[in-house]
Amino acid sequence: MKIIETAIEGPVIIEPDVFGDARGYFFESWSQPKFDAAVRPVRFVQDNESKSTYGVLRGLHFQRGEHAQSKLVRVVSGRVLDVAVDIRRGSPTFGRHVCVELTGENRRQFFVPRGFAHGFAVLSPEAVFQYKCDNLYTPEAEGAIAWDDPALGIDWGLKPHEVRLSPKDSAHPRLADAPELFDYNTDYYA
């Protein structure tokens, strides 16, 4: 697999080695030893899958404190714009984001470490999205920031009238007003 560093330390793009012939293709979508050696040791404990239609935007989500999560995300079919926002107060890249297009065809994966908010927008008629988490979902630890916070400047690849949100995702605070984030000097993997 190939590891592609991003403009922000932490999130990385992973391109698997794909082997194909006239019958189809094969690729290893997950290997604990290879991931640990290439990215960082992380023990994933939960796999999730969602299916969404064009214009659905989910995010920008995170889990707080001891329930913080890393995510390894990929698209099985369709096309999404995936976004990670640095929400570690004191970080030299606080409030900056990384975007990557994930598709069923490019088979890229995106690692979003603890200390980042995560979201994605569906850019195809439909998308099946899978992700691994290294901590179990805990409702009382939910955190989020507004997807359309002007201070973040994220171009989601959708016109405003095309964006489809859940009621919860339409009511998150801006980054400057978020009550509890992360601290750059705290090791959330310790």
Q: Quick one: pLDDT at residue 144?
A: 97
pLDDT in tens, 10-52: 999 999 999 999 999 999 999 999 999 999 999 999 999 999 9
Would residue 53 count as lying in a domain?
Answer: yes
Would residue 120 count as lying in a domain?
Answer: yes
Question: Taking Cα atoms as reference points, which of 82, 39, 46 lies closest to residue 63?
Answer: 46
Would residue 15 count as lying in a domain?
Answer: yes
Would residue 189 count as lying in a domain?
Answer: no
The first and second tokens of residue 138, run together, are 């805990």
Q: What gap in Å lies between CA 11 and CA 14, rounded to an integer?
A: 10
Would residue 188 count as lying in a domain?
Answer: no
Would residue 136 count as lying in a domain?
Answer: yes
Would residue 37 count as lying in a domain?
Answer: yes
CATH code of residue 144: 2.60.120.10
Number of domains in the chain: 1
* Residue 179 pLDDT grade (very low, low, confident, very high; cuts 50, 70, 90): confident
Q: Quick one: pLDDT at residue 32?
A: 92
Would residue 190 count as lying in a domain?
Answer: no
Q: What gap in Å lies between CA 53 and CA 84, rounded to an integer?
A: 21
Residue numbers annotated as active site: 61, 131
pLDDT in tens, 41-70: 999 999 999 999 999 999 999 999 999 999
Containing domain of residue 126, as a range?
2-183
Give the burial class of 163: count Cβ atoms within 10 A of its Cβ; 0-12 exposed, 13-18 middle, 19 or more buried: middle
